[in-house]
Amino acid sequence: MKFIRLFILFSLLYVQDVQVDAYLDYNSPFHPIVSSNGMVVSQNLESSEIGTQILEAGGNAVDAAVAVGFSLTTTLPRAGNLGGGGFMLIYLEKQKELFSIDYRSRSSLNSNLKDLFGSKSPPQIQDDDYDLTKYGYKASAVPGTVYGLLEAHEKFGKLSLDKVLKPVIEQAKSGIIVSYDLHNAIGSSDQLRKDPESRRIYFKNNLPIAIGTVMKRPDLARTFEAISINGKKGFYDGWVSEKIESSMNDNEGFIDKNDLMQYTSKFRDPVGVNYRGYSVYTQGPPSGGGVAFLTALNVLSYFNLKKYRKDSSLTYHLLAEALRRGHNNRSHHVGDPDFYNVPTKDLISKGRAKLLTKNIAFDKASRSSSIQKYNHIEESKDTTHYSVIDRDGNAVSNTYTLGYSFGSGVTIPGTGILMNNQMRNFAYKYGDKSSTSRASSPGNKFMPGKRPMSTMHPIMVFNKKDELFLITGSPGGSQIPAANLRVVTGIIDFDLHIGDATMLPRIHKDWPYEDFEFESTLSQDNLNILDKMGHRLKPSDTIGSTQSIQIIDGINYGFADLRRPNSGVSVEKSSQ
């Protein structure tokens, strides 16, 4: 009997050891954060934690997203912003409804080509002339971020605005510790040195504010307080708008109080396609990135990607061919739908994709001239994205930008507001028949009061049961569709979890350019084969920085892309 009891005891211990060993035998080094509670994933962990503070205070996903959007102004000043604009997808679980808010910056009603380019006018404007829209006061379009975030809060939030902004104000007053990344980002942004107010905030003794320094932002705190008390009027009217107008007047900028008071965000219909039974939604025009991304998915739907390895040369080849056709599709007839009749349905139709697919070969890279454009500029990587879900299943996918890192470099004195350089994103060469690039796009030609085309496109994916399955998005300029496409196809085509899908090597191929850009993690064997196929290989720095939440059977799996430092997942603490 004693022998039997000992045998059972050793057997139980053995089983426990086996179970522990099996659990510790991880299949991947890229571990998602797992929780059934609310979750925030952003490019800065401190801002993610402010989002979950709002969830713990009884706020919903929209309240948390608004707090994160304002917080990133302090923690990630090169991209988090009050002086820029973006796009937001909002999903309400109870109503099963998806909403899209376009709060893209728009050109001043006072802006004009003569003040931008002197005697030159389209199509005489050349690529070098675009430098005039890079930095300084004339580079800025009317900011939309504050309007868009507050519009979302007014329509869908639960908590009062003062409760949502309270931790944001406290964070700006208390300050943040300057990280290695922030220190070096400041040092690499020469436009900050050229602006007296930016130089005062971000430099000390003419050097970027030192690593480990506490950077307090009382100027931003005052602006946040004005918004907290007066809502939209706290930014678009009152003393903040007066500061913006007077600074613009003193520096030959375009924006005045009339521009600010007339700005509104827009509710637009999300656009989407069915990809292998999954419903994939994103932002429509003026987002060209959404058109490029959905076009690429449609093209890939004609190939059984699943039968190839996730990291095979053929997979990379097909991704490249799909991406460049997507960029072709966005290059001519995508712009502000309030100014131009964008043929969105045709551009993202299966018929258009089938036509684009006809000349894709399995063993040879296509040339840009072989891709038929639809008949009817340099882009910055310093955007940022964040994803939010609450315990009730409501969700937000938000991407916004200043344009370049630290935008135009201009900070409005006394407000802490860094201004964007989105005037650079218009097509100023329209009418130039010798140009096939986006710079000559009739859909995106410059007009006062217009929103320029953007590659930003936040994403939500629903599974075959119409349940929310994935929230994601990325910064990266023209590389945004490539980053997003790699994550979505990694999950759907190769059954990867969000960690592995995020950390797959990424490639990018635009149109009409021939370069095949690749991350350093792509294997040399694949590069050799792709080179033989005729791809013009060009090493790239990291492509994008997706911040994602995957939802499986009611459990949230969050993963912050490792490509950029300081990002992080924060989880709402249990109320029990």
CA 335 to chain centre: 18
Residue from 160, 164, 197 nearest 77 by CA:
197
At 513, which amino acid appears? Answer: Y
For residues 451 and 104, the answer to whether their CB atoms sit within 8 Å is yes
For residues 236 and 263, the answer to whether their CB atoms sit within 8 Å is yes
Q: Whole-angstrom Cα distance, residue 336 to residue 452?
A: 7
DSSP letters along 12-53, please? HHHHHHHHHHHHHS-S-S-PPEEESS-EEEES-HHHHHHHHH
Q: Whole-angstrom Cα distance, residue 55 to residue 64?
A: 6
For residues 323 and 510, the answer to whether their CB atoms sit within 8 Å is yes
Q: Which residue has the tokens 């705190």?
A: 221
Q: Which residue has the tokens 């060993």?
A: 21
**Number of Cβ atoms within 10 Å of the Cβ of 210:** 11
Alpha helices (H) along 81-144: 113-117
For residues 478 and 510, the answer to whether their CB atoms sit within 8 Å is yes
Q: Whole-angstrom Cα distance, residue 441 to residue 452?
A: 11
- Tell me the CA distances in angstroms from 38 to 64, 110, 226, 396, 400, one per residue in order: 10, 44, 29, 12, 22
Entry field: residues in the chain: 576
**415 assigned to active site:** no
Residue from 415, 381, 417, 414 nearest 77 by CA:
417
Percent helix, percent strand, percent coil in the chain, to nearest 5: 40, 20, 40
Query: Which residue out of 344, 383, 415, 546 is catalytically annotated?
Result: 383
User: Could you give the 3-state DSSP secondary structure of residue 70?
Assistant: helix
Q: Which residue has the tokens 């980053």?
A: 483
DSSP 522: S
Strands (E), 352-394: 383-389
Alpha helices (H) along 337-447: 344-347, 350-357
Q: Whole-angstrom Cα distance, residue 295 to residue 356?
A: 9
Query: Do β-strands 411-412 and 395-401 pair in parallel, antiparallel, or remain unpaired?
Result: unpaired
Catalytic amino acids?
Answer: 383
